[in-house]
Structure 1
C-alpha cells in the first residue's frame, strides 16, 4: 500500500511546477474559504474589475489612457446599475411583498380545490392526508412569520456599515484594480515561486473561458428575464416584473434554477386563470422561452466556454454552492472548468523524465 502511494506521489508530483500549482491553488482556496466574509468586498471588486477590463482595454487601444478609460467605464457601469436599481427594484420589491401576502389566500383556494378532488375520487386521494399536508404547508407561509422574516431582512439590508462598504469601497477598489492593473500584478507576482509556468498555462486557458462564461451569463440573464417579462405582461399575468426577474436569475443555477422558478409561475398562473386556455398559453409560452434558452441561446453564448458533462455541472453546483453560497453557484461551471484545465495540464511522469 505504501509503495502504491509512493509511486502515485512520484508520478503526480515529481515536477516542481506541479507542486507550485498545487500550492497556489491551495492558498487561494484556503484564503477564500476561511476569509470570504472579511474579503467579500475585495472579491466582488476583483470580479467586477475582471469584467470591466475588456472595455478599458478597448479604450486604451484607441488612445485613451488607463486612468481616463477606467473612470469612464466605471462611471458608465455605476450609472447602469443605478438605472436598473431605481427602475426595476421598486416594482419587483412591491410585487414580491404582494405575492407573499397573497400566498395564504392562494393556499386556501388550493385547499378547497383539493378537497373537492378528494371528495370526487376518495379511492385515490385521502382527505385526512390532504388536510395534514396542506395545514403544514399553510404554516410555512403564515403571514405573521413572513412579515417577521421580511422585517429581519429589511433591517439587515439597511445596515449602514454594510451599505457604506459596498457603495463606497467597492467602486474605489474596482477603479484602482483597473487603473493600476500592471503595478498590482507585478507586486503580487513577487510572492509566488518563479517556476510557475504550469500555473500560467492553466490561467491562460481559463482566462478567456472565464470571461466568456461570465459575460454570457449576464447576457443570458438579461435576455431571458426581459423576454419572460414582456411575455407575461402581454398575457396580463400578475407579478410580471417579479416573475421575469426570477426567471432571469434562475439561469445562474444550471438545470435546477428553471425547475425552482417554474413553481411560482405555475402557482400564479393557475390561481389567476384556473384550468383554462389562457393558463395553457402562459405555460406553453414559458416553456418555449426555456426551450429557446437551452437550445439556441446557451449554445450560442457558451459554445467555447463550457465543455462539461451535465452530471459534472450539477455536482459542481452542489459542491461550490455549499462552500461559497451564491458566488459558488454562479462560478460553479468556471471552477469546474478550472479543475478540468488543471487535470489536462498536469504533467505525467513520462513527460517529466523526457524533459
Structure 2
C-alpha cells in the first residue's frame, strides 16, 4: 500500500514545480479557511477590482494616467451603485414588509386547502395525517420565526462592519487598481523560483476569474431586470422583490433556479389561483430561465459551461459549506481551478521532457 502511494507521489510530484504548486494551494486554502472572515473586506475589494480592471486598463491604453483612470472609474461605479441603491432599496424594503405581513394569510389559505383534501379524496387521504402534518409544520414555522427574529436583532451589531466596508473597501480597490503592477511584482518576488506550473495555472485562472466576475454581474443584472419587468407586466405582486430574487438566484447554478421557483409560484398561486394568469406567469418564468441557461450563460461563460453540471453542483455544496456566500459565488472558477490543477499535474514529467527537447 505504502509502495503504491510512494510511486504515485514520485510520479506526480517529483517535479519541484508540482510540489511548489501543491504547497501554495494548501497554504492558500488554510489561510482562507482560518482567516476568511477577517479577510472578507479584502475579498470584496478583489472582486470589485477584477470587475473594474478592464475600463481602467482601456483608459490607460488611450493615454490617461493610471491614477486618473482609476479615480474616474471608481467615481462612476459608486455613483451608479448609489443611484441603484436609492431607487431599489425603498421599493424592495416596502415589498418585503408587505410580503412578510401576508405570509400568515398565505399559510392560512394553504392550511384550508390541505384540510379540504380528505373530503375531496376520502379514499386517498386521511384527516389524521393532514392534522399531524399541519401541527408539525406549524411548530417548525414558529421555531423558524423565533430564529429569524433573534438573527435580525443580532444583525444590528453589523452596522459598524458595514461602515468599515464603506470606508476600507473603496480605499483597497483604489490601491489594487492604481498599483496593480507593484502588487504583481511583489507577489512574484515572494513566490519560489520553481513556479512554472504556478505561473501556468495562475495566468489561466486570472483570466477566467476576471471574465467570470464580470459575466456573473452582467447575468444578475439582465436576469433580475428582465424578470422584474416581466412580473410587473403580468401585474404580479412584489414584482421587483421577486425579480431581484430571480436575478441573485443565478449565483447558485441549477440549485438557485429550482429554489427561487417556490416563492414565485406561491405568490402567483395565492394571487391568481389556478387560472390562466398563473399559467402565463409560470410560462414566462420558465422562458426566462431557459433563455438564461441556453443563451445568456453560454455567451458569458463559454469556458465555465464546459464543466459537467454534476461537478458544478458538487463545487457549490463543497465551497459554499466552507466559505458561505463567497464560496458559492466562486464555485465555478474554483471548480475550474481544480480542473486546471488536475491537468497541470497529469503528466509533469512529460512536459519537462518536451521543454528539455526544445
* TM band (smaller chain): over 0.9
Q: In the alignment, which residue of structure 2 is the partner of 1:242?
A: 241
Q: Cα 1:306–1:68, aligned 2, differ >3 Å: closer, same or farther?
A: same
Structure-1-length-normalised TM-score: 0.95
Q: SS at the partner of 2:57? A: helix
Gaps of 5+ in 2: none
Residue 132 of structure 1: CA displacement? Answer: 2.1
Residues 35-50 of structure 1: matches in 2 within 5 Å? 35-50=35-50
Q: Cα 1:148–1:97, aligned 2, differ >3 Å: closer, same or farther?
A: farther
The worse-fitting range, judged by mean Cα deviation, of 183-192 and 13-22 is: 183-192
Contact 1:103/1:141, CA 8 A, preserved across alignment:
no
Q: SS at the partner of 1:237? A: coil
Contact 2:47/2:213, CA 8 A, preserved across alignment:
no
Q: In the alignment, which residue of structure 2 is the partner of 1:71?
A: 71
The worse-fitting range, judged by mean Cα deviation, of 303-312 and 6-15 is: 303-312
Q: CA RMSD in A?
A: 1.8
Structure-2-length-normalised TM-score: 0.94
Q: In the alignment, which residue of structure 1 is the partner of 2:59?
A: 59
- Structure 1, residues 138-176: CA drift from partner, whole Å, max 9, x if none? 34444x963873464265256342022100001001001
Residues 1:228 and 2:227 aligned together:
yes
Contact 1:60/1:69, CA 8 A, preserved across alignment:
yes
Residues 317-336 of structure 1: matches in 2 within 5 Å? 317-336=316-335
Distance in 1 (alpha carbons) for counterparts of 2:156 and 2:61: 40
Residue 353 of structure 1: CA displacement? Answer: 5.4
Q: In the alignment, which residue of structure 2 is the partner of 1:339?
A: 338
Q: Cα 1:97–1:81, aligned 2, differ >3 Å: closer, same or farther?
A: same
Q: How many residue pairs align between the two structures?
A: 354
Q: In the alignment, which residue of structure 1 is the partner of 2:123?
A: 123
Residue 348 of structure 1: CA displacement? Answer: 3.3
The runs of 4+ residues in structure 1 deviating greater than 6 Å are none
Q: In the alignment, which residue of structure 2 is the partner of 1:25?
A: 25
Residue 341 of structure 1: CA displacement? Answer: 0.8
Residues 308-319 of structure 1: matches in 2 within 5 Å? 308-319=307-318
Q: Cα 1:151–1:351, aligned 2, differ >3 Å: closer, same or farther?
A: closer
The worse-fitting range, judged by mean Cα deviation, of 266-275 and 144-153 is: 144-153
Gaps of 5+ in 1: none
Residues 1-355 of structure 1: matches in 2 within 5 Å? 1-142=1-142, 146=145, 149-150=148-149, 152-153=151-152, 156-157=155-156, 159-346=158-345, 347-352=347-352, 355=356
